[in-house]
Copies of this chain bind each other. A is one copy, B any other.
Amino acid sequence: MPLVRISLLKGKSKAHIRAIADGVHKALVEAYDVPADDRFQLIQQHEPEEFIYDADYLGIHRTDDLVIIQVTAGNWRETATKQAFYKAVADNLSENPGLRTEDVFISLLSVQRDDWSFGKGVASYVKEPAPV
């Protein structure tokens, strides 16, 4: 169910990008109660003038390796679950592709069960059939 948007500066290798995508998905499975095959990720690579960030907000020093991740997911997660997810993403991306955890920015968007259609024109998570 999550729809994941990952934004970063252009110029990284395909392996680097894949490692980020894999690490974010692994964190969703490990810490956010997402099935392993529930994976939908959109990646955007930006020119420098298209990717603007503050290098020190909240005393966290960021570099051009910054990854901005926005996850649309179900709104039934508790704060503790979100915290575990943030840690899992940072841990995974630190391990591979070796990002500094300061360069991992995450924003969550929460939605309801009836906000998803995974195909075939139906609300995949709604039990009641569509009215005729």
Q: Is the CB of A52 within 8 A of B39?
A: yes
The one of B40, B115, B119 that contacts A102, using a Cβ cutoff of 8 Å: B119
Report the count of interface residues on A (CB-CB < 8 A).
69
Whether A111 lies near B111 (C-beta < 8 A) is no
Task: Give bound CA distance, A35 to B58, whole Å.
Answer: 10
Instruction: Please state if B51 and A43 are interface contacts (CB–CB under 8 Å).
Output: yes
B120 A116 Cβ-Cβ under 8 A: no
Write out the residue numbers on chain B whose beta carbons fall within 8 Å of the beta carbon of A44. Answer: 42, 44, 50
* Chain A residues packing against B (C-beta within 8 Å): 3, 7, 14, 17-18, 21, 35, 37-46, 49-54, 56-58, 60, 62, 68, 70, 72, 79-80, 82-84, 86-91, 101-112, 114-124, 126, 128, 130-131
